[in-house]
Structure 1
């Protein structure tokens, strides 16, 4: 948290909050204003970024997370405005036959019954 930003134009509102100290045109995060929960959150995010930085990207997921959002769905919110070209059964078969390998795996959890 020892990084300072030099602001050459108007100071953005996002850097005017209670966690920042401004001196002339230099902005710094003030770690003493962070709660324990905020510190833990920042450490978690930092750790996630460190872990993912060295991993090889997966660019061959073929948008499986998008298919997963309509997996086994009885109520597809865009069915009338943008109908799917496959039946529900066909969609489910595709999702069940291939792995979801991208970071959108949560599509199963959030969009499936």
Structure 2
């Protein structure tokens, strides 16, 4: 077990907080104003993360922070005599299932052969045959009119292998996909050439 004096860990925590808050200042500003933003909405709503959570520095397992009373309010930490450390037993009790799922999916994807032939058609399949105003972000104009977009999807076809992309296909688009990804079969289909599999690294 490594023990860090406050003089050692506090500057690291503060530097992390300052860097994240500077990087996400526009995100927080838009949120406070109630402004929509397609990337912000995706990163902090779809993945259900908060900028304040990302700004919190964590030492990791096996590190004891000395003189750290502020960690008493942090979930999944154990505090005694103002010394804080990750409560690994509690973490595994509460998050063990998620950890096992993440390991299973990531290990399977890393071992799979990458495929790069989907050409991003999953994005168009999510708006296939929708009319203006029916998309997830109706305030954004699509690059093609609906009929032209549909023709592109039909000509190129869909080869989506990731369930969390496929489940957002419009109903008319789902039969156009060569595969029928399911949550149960995710480990068998996820592969490292998939954009969505790589985006999930952010989640895990």
TM-score normalised to the size of structure 1? 0.61
Gaps of 5+ in 2: 17-55, 59-70, 172-204
1:110 aligned to 2:112? no
The separation in 2 between residues aligned to 1:64 and 1:54, in whole angstroms, is: 24
The separation in 2 between residues aligned to 1:49 and 1:92, in whole angstroms, is: 33
Query: For residues 14-55 of structure 1, what are the alpha-carbon distances to aligned partners after superposition, in whole Å with 9 as ceiling and x for unaligned?
Result: 316433569xxxx96432122644110111001111111111
Pick one of 59, 84, 98 that aligns with 2:116. 59
Counterpart of 1:10 in structure 2 is 12
**C-alpha contact (below 8 Å) 1:65/1:107 kept by paired residues:** yes
Pick one of 155, 159, 184 that aligns with 1:100. 159
Give the count of matched residue pairs.
105
In structure 2, the CA distance between the partners of 1:21 and 1:59, relative to structure 1 (3 Å rule), is farther
Structure (1 or 2) with the greater helix fraction: 2
Counterpart of 1:41 in structure 2 is 98
Query: For residues 63-108 of structure 1, what are the alpha-carbon distances to aligned partners after superposition, in whole Å with 9 as ceiling and x for unaligned?
Result: 11221121121313566653432x42342343345123354x5344
**C-alpha contact (below 8 Å) 1:69/1:112 kept by paired residues:** yes
**C-alpha contact (below 8 Å) 2:122/2:158 kept by paired residues:** no
1:30 aligned to 2:87? yes
Counterpart of 2:128 in structure 1 is 71
1:10 deviates by 1.5
**C-alpha contact (below 8 Å) 2:77/2:85 kept by paired residues:** yes
